Structure 1
Amino acid sequence: MNHLKKTNHQASRESFRDSILSPKRPSAILALVLMLFMLTVIVGGCTQSGDEARQQIIVESLDEAAGQAEAGTQGQAGGGKAAGMADRAADNNDSSEAVREPATTIELTDMMGREIKLDAPAERIVVLAASDCEILYAIGAGETLVGRGEYCDYPEEIFNVPSVQSGSETNIEQIIALQPQVVVMSIMSQTKEQVAALESAGIKVVAMNAQDIESVYTAIELLGKVVGRSAEASILINDMKTAFTDISTKAVNASASASETETIYFEVSPLEYGIWTAGSDTFMNELAAMLGMKNAFEDIQGWGEISQEQVIERDPDHIVTIAMYFGEGKTPVEEIMGREGWQGIKAIKNKMVLNVDSNEISRPGPRLTKALSAIYEFIYEEN
């Protein structure tokens, strides 16, 4: 496969988001997925441990692998109401349309359970994760961003914001120099030392940990409180819920005549680097249910490595890959369709293999609705 390329990496302790260095070409990022999946067993220096930490690493690996690979490329758009909702959210950063709440003391609990008090809504923020940046813009608070993680690449206007080193190369001095009031970073992208350094400089640290759709809503609500945009956050959450419900209702109606529930297999790491998939306790598993389908690997908890033989045995009706393609060699769909021994799988025989925009489906944020819409249209309207 020429659409992916391996690259070496020094980090062995942090999550994929924290481990990304600047590669010479975007296709190298996808090769890191497997490597860092395997490194999850030795994660250290973070605030979580055991299975929960490993699950979070996988979520964030998807998030940032897609984010870095997408930089400089144009993401594919979903369709229908969900796509329109996400596009409107991206354009919602006009301060004339967003009403800031009056200055008042704000008390909140971040997603690590820490109690945080702000004297007023934050006006200067550094956000390290791409999904959190997308949320900030979607609630009309993009103007509060004074620094972003270097892999935050959506919406387009975010490139006007200075980037800071994040991941294993997080530069605390660089962040402090931007004089933010608040730094938003994931649980897995922070160490006690980093938090202590920021807090000693008078900067509040808000930890995020969105792993499923409900926690995406929590993240949106939390960021809304931080910037005094709770009303806009509620609107965004309701828009997402409406979009999910609309698509789910159509999918259930469309699949009502089926003799049995069809299965869908999500391939989050390609064959060349070892196959990984989404199991239970993941937002992809929830997307499968919304589509009126059963996740072919729902018996796996979180994100797990599987074999070709397991995929062949499960014989999924549909296959969704999030691999990136950069115009060289076989496309991700062509590669899957041509795999030796896979020709008997129903999804292969019926040509039900879809390559979904990696950023949309892997970032726990507003554009998950576009990813769901794209899958729905492919399965129920285009075929």
Structure 2
Amino acid sequence: MKHSRNIISKNSTMVLLIAILYISGTLILSGCTHRSSADTGNKKSISVKDALGHPIELDKPVERIVCLYEPALDALYMLKAEAKIVGIFNSIYTSDELYPYYAKLDDRIQQKQLAVPGNNGDGNIESIMMLNPDIVILQAAQEELAAALRSVGVKVYTANVEKYNEVFQTMRDLAVLTGTSERAHDLIAYVEGEYEALKARSSTLQAKKKAYFSWAYGRIFSTAGRNSMMNFCLEIAGVENACPFELDQPNINPETLVGWNPDLIIMWNDSPDEFYKRKELGEVSAVKNKQIYNLLPMFFYNPHTLKSLSTAVSIHNWAYPNPDVDVKHQVELIMLKLYGEKGKAL
């Protein structure tokens, strides 16, 4: 779920030439809406700061968005601002974990009609500029690409969603930029209300269970530390994170997991057999009692979005089962609330 630092691979001479042309006022892009530096002194009606502290000021909500960061793209669909999207990243079309779901939310994705000027971690500057975006949305780690785009006059919003308050702030900022603040207010109020309800239920527990989380693709000894969004989900769910380390994604060994002896194990898109086949883990309570659960499909449980709610709700009900609660139905209701009518297709 972490993305590597981005590398701009296009010819630097071409980028420099474009920058010089733009700054000199000779770059002409059909339908381009970017303001020159002479206009920046005027007070704008829309103003936000991105995750890196860069101000974005606009006269009106954006109409053309290139989004190269998946949690932000997800937020745009929750805000019902998808009509403004003109460019996405290539793995939306190639990922079995993303394409089937975004295709149900957007016919343009289903038909692979939206332009792909980059991937979820890099971008082609010339291809981005050809789309005449009012704004480009990137992950905060994409500093080099963001700086290069700003140097040729493109507005850039960088997002960081490693903590729950950052998830909410990103949603608020994107709502301001797209003119959908009322929708964002409703969604955030809903999620925060559900968080409080979960906390209230968890506060009545006489003893909390201990949970271990493992990442996908066979990385069963790569977990989530206390300084992570997944730890937030575990806390909201009313369970204790078995991992005491502050690191975001620490790696451990089998002996450490045996020592932690969690009551349940939460997996990210992997088979429980990854644990059951390891003889040295046979005495771990979660393994011995077959208390291993899977956050699948991953699209429903991305903890770096408002879907952290479906993650927390599921973990709570797995840890403290109630025969009157249908976990699958609860997740379906959350999807319907977050995506509106289009959520039914998911």
| TM-score (normalised: structure 2) | 0.72
Q: Find 1:345's aligned residue among 284, 309, 314.
A: 284
SS at 1:303 equivalent: coil
Aligned to 1:329: none
Aligned to 2:261: 315
Q: CA deviation at 1:269?
A: 4.5
SS at 1:202 equivalent: coil
Which residues in structure 2 correspond to 1:361-380 (within 5 Å)? 361-380=301-320
State the distance in 1 between where 2:121 and 2:83 align: 27
* 2:169 equivalent to 1:187: no
Aligned to 1:126: 66
Task: Structure 2: state its 5+ residue gaps.
Answer: 9-43, 93-97, 324-346
- 1:339-366 per-position Cα deviation (integer Å, ceiling 9, x unaligned): 1111111111221100112334345112
| TM-score (normalised: structure 1) | 0.66
- 1:96-150 per-position Cα deviation (integer Å, ceiling 9, x unaligned): xxxxxxxx62111111111221121111101111111111111121111111122
Tell which has more relative contact order, 1 or 2 (C-alpha 8 A, sep 6+). 1
State the distance in 1 between where 2:115 and 2:310 align: 28
Aligned residues, how many? Answer: 274
Aligned to 2:158: 207
* 2:219 equivalent to 1:233: no
Which residues in structure 2 correspond to 1:1-383 (within 5 Å)? 16-18=2-4, 105-152=45-92, 153=98, 154-155=101-102, 156-158=104-106, 159=109, 161-167=114-120, 169-191=122-144, 194-253=145-204, 256-258=205-207, 261-269=208-216, 272-273=218-219, 275-324=221-270, 332-357=271-296, 358-381=298-321
What amino acid maps onto 1:257 in structure 2? Q
Q: CA deviation at 1:335?
A: 2.2
CA RMSD of aligned residues (A): 2.4
Distance 1:382 1:347, change over 3 A: farther
**Is the 1:167–1:189 Cα contact (8 Å) retained in structure 2?**
no
State the distance in 2 between where 1:118 and 1:131 align: 23
SS at 1:276 equivalent: coil
**Is the 1:251–1:380 Cα contact (8 Å) retained in structure 2?**
no
Percentage of identical aligned residues: 24
Distance 1:186 1:283, change over 3 A: same
Task: Structure 1: state its 5+ residue gaps.
Answer: 1-14, 19-42, 47-103, 325-331
Aligned to 1:101: none
Q: CA deviation at 1:233?
A: 1.1
**Is the 1:316–1:346 Cα contact (8 Å) retained in structure 2?**
yes
Q: CA deviation at 1:172?
A: 1.5
State the distance in 2 between where 1:170 and 1:44 align: 8
Q: CA deviation at 1:376?
A: 2.2
Q: State the structure with more CA Rg.
A: 2
